[in-house]
């Protein structure tokens, strides 16, 4: 049923100044039972106000309700599906937040002596071993505080490895289906990024790879599954081609959510990879952090990992079992102060121990099942540039809608907001025109997927029969359609009532 004839009013929440009234208060402090001091003498009269601040006066209940209503104006994963392809915006168990809130973790000083932090260092050590087992790597550093930081650390390890062998290699191969941060990490590490195109199936063109790889190739950065949601079925062949030229294979593990318990990149011959704890292992993703991008490597690269490394001495020769190992002369050095984002590691450790091997595998299986189910529902209504089964995500294209009535992927994304749903990733990956990149994740129910699909189908119908409804969206959000370019350049926000 079309919503075109329904008048949708924008929600509006008055400011605290509009809601306040003189004399209201949340609470009253009891009389002082300690000696008073003269504040003017304590801090100087020049620092005192002549008049009280002009603040709104409200009851405690009014303040609580105001901020609760404001929170509901924002979309979040606790409210409905958040299908941002590539970002893995899944629901994460609240119990892991409780674990990370334990005073023994939150109150620990980052410079505490190892003898006073045995439990926390032990957690880091064992989490690293779990991640090594999951990925098929031999050693892991938890220090990188984000995925891109893990990538950069990996490229610095690649550089150190070749430098030790007297090699001055210049280029790193990056498929066009890789994550967008890969070329930036390559450049920051001092290499030249060489792009290779995908074939008709959305995978690395192996013949093109053979042509590009030579004695100047330091590494390849490959995402598997890639950003099209396609698994690189010829990964062993890709690994062999690069290894034969003396290069290394870096696996971007941002999509590990689709591989847990099914495929280990290390078993396919990959030399190093990063993993996103904030995408795969139970830290909410978004809002600028916090994140964590541990770097895993095979044995021949272990000496280059950032220092310090959480280590174990079962003999307790220095009086305790767990410690930070700083004696690593071939290390690339620090990539973050202290030892990464520690509380993110706590949540990941709780998540892994709770699920266990079978549970982690079910995470991947359900993520793949949900994505394929949703793809099958939507394929008749949108173009599917790369047909076939997907992994944890898939990419539709609004090319049919744009060619028919001019409705773009951006318009479809805006219209979804009117239905209380967050939009998928749009216009990425860049190799798909009018891309709608959708990742439902493993935590969505069939009912949630069916609702999202029903809305997407309705928007596809509107795009043909009532395109102005779509191009004029959103109409039911606090703010209407913005000029995206201007909003990105002019960050001043002015609220105009009405």
Q: Which two tokens stand for residue 442?
A: 């493993």
| 184 and 69 share one domain | no
Give the least confident one: 278-287, 300-309, 406-415, 437-446: 278-287
Within 10 Å of residue 380's Cβ, how many Cβ atoms? 9
**Residue matched to tokens 């995470």:** 363
Judged against a pLDDT cut of 80, whether residue 243 lies above it is answered with yes
pLDDT digits (tens, 9 = 90+) for 385-413: 999 999 999 999 999 999 999 999 999 99
**Within this chain, do residues 189 and 219 fall inside the same structural domain, yes or no?**
yes
Question: Could you tell me the residue range of the domain that residue 20 belongs to?
Answer: 16-73
Residues 154, 28 share a domain: no
pTM (predicted TM-score):
0.89
- Residue 86: φ, ψ to 5°: 80, -20
480 assigned to some structural domain: no
Residues 55 and 103 in one domain: no
**For residue 1, what pLDDT band results from cuts at 50, 70 and 90?**
very low
pLDDT at 181 over 70: yes
Q: Say yes or no: 56 and 170 in one domain.
A: no
Choice between 142 and 27, residue whose per-residue pLDDT is larger = 142
Q: Is residue 448 part of a domain?
A: no
- Structural domain includes residue 125: yes
> Are residues 166 and 58 part of one domain?
no
pLDDT higher than 50, residue 269? yes
Say whether both 65 and 101 belong to one domain. no
The residue among 353, 386, 421 that closes a domain is 353
Indicate whether 284 pLDDT > 90.
no
Co-location of 105 and 171 in the same domain? yes
Q: Using the predicted structure, report yes or no on whether residue 180 has a pLDDT greater than 90.
A: no
Q: Are residues 63 and 143 in the same domain?
A: no
Kindly tell me if the per-residue pLDDT of 2 is higher than 50. no
Higher pLDDT, 163 or 178: 163
Contact between 125 and 297 under an 8 Å Cβ cutoff? The reply is: no
Q: In this structure, are 105 and 246 located in the same domain?
A: yes
**Residue 401: closest CA among 472, 439, 457:** 457
Whether residue 140 is contained in a domain is answered as: yes
User: What mean pLDDT is predicted for residues 458-474?
Assistant: 97
Domains held by the chain: number: 2
pLDDT of 319 above 60:
yes
Question: Comparing 332 with 54, which gets the higher pLDDT?
Answer: 332
CATH number of the structural domain spanning residue 155: 3.40.640.10
pLDDT per residue over 363-380, tens digit each? 999 999 999 999 999 999
Whether residue 146 is found in the same domain as residue 208: yes
- Sheet containing 425-426: give its strands across: 394-397, 435-438, 425-426
DSSP 385-437: SS-S--SS-EEEETHHHHHHH---HHHHHHHHHHTT----EES-STTSTTEEE
pLDDT of 4 higher than 60: no
Mean pLDDT of the chain: 93
**pLDDT tens digits, residue range 188-198?**
999 999 999 99
What's the pLDDT tens digit per position in 483-492? 888 878 887 7
User: Would 8 be classed as within a structural domain?
Assistant: no
């Amino acid at each position: 049923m079309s919503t075109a004839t329904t008048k949708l009013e924008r929600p509006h929440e008055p400011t605290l100044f509009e809601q306040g009234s003189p004399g209201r208060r949340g609470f009253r402090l009891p009389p002082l039972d300690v000696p008073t001091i003269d504040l003017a003498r304590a801090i100087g009269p020049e620092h005192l106000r002549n008049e009280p601040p002009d603040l709104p006066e409200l009851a405690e209940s009014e303040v609580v309700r105001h901020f609760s209503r404001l929170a509901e104006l924002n979309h979040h994963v606790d409210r409905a599906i958040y299908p941002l392809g590539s970002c893995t915006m899944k629901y994460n168990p609240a119990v892991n937040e409780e674990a990370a809130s334990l005073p023994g973790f939150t109150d620990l000083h980052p410079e505490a002596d190892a003898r006073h932090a045995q439990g926390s260092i032990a957690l880091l050590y064992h989490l690293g071993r779990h991640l090594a087992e999951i990925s098929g790597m031999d050693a892991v550093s938890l220090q990188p505080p984000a995925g891109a930081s893990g990538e950069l650390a990996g490229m610095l390890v690649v550089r150190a490895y070749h430098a030790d062998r007297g090699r001055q290699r210049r280029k790193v191969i990056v498929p066009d289906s890789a994550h967008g941060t890969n070329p930036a990490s390559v450049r920051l590490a001092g290499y030249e990024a060489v792009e290779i195109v995908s074939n008709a199936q959305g995978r690395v063109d192996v013949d093109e790879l053979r042509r590009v790889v030579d004695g100047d190739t330091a590494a390849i950065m490959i995402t598997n599954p890639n950003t099209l949601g396609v698994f690189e079925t010829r990964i062993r062949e890709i690994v062999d081609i690069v290894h034969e030229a003396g290069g290394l294979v870096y696996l971007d593990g941002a999509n590990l959510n689709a591989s847990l318990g099914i495929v280990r990149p290390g078993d396919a011959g990959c030399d190093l990879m990063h993993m996103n704890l904030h995408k795969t292992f139970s830290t909410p993703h978004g809002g600028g952090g916090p994140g964590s991008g541990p770097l895993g490597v095979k044995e021949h690269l272990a000496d280059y990992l950032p220092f310090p490394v959480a280590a174990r001495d079962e003999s307790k020769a220095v009086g305790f079992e767990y410690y930070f190992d700083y004696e690593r002369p071939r290390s690339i050095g620090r990539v973050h102060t202290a030892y990464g984002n520690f509380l993110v590691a706590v949540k990941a450790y709780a998540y892994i121990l709770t699920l266990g091997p079978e549970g982690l595998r079910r995470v991947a299986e359900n993520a793949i099942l949900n994505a394929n189910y949703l793809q099958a529902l939507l394929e008749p209504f949108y173009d599917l540039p790369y047909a076939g089964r997907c992994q944890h995500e898939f990419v539709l294209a609004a090319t049919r809608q744009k060619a028919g009535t001019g409705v773009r992927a951006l318009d479809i994304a805006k219209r979804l907001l009117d239905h209380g749903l967050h939009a998928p990733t749009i216009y990425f990956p860049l190799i798909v025109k009018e891309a709608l990149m959708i990742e439902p994740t493993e935590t969505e129910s069939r009912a949630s997927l069916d609702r999202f699909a029903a809305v997407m189908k309705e928007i596809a119908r509107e795009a043909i029969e009532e395109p102005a409804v779509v191009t004029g969206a959103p109409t039911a959000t606090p703010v209407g359609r913005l000029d995206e370019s201007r909003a990105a350049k002019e960050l001043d926000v002015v609220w105009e009532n009405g």
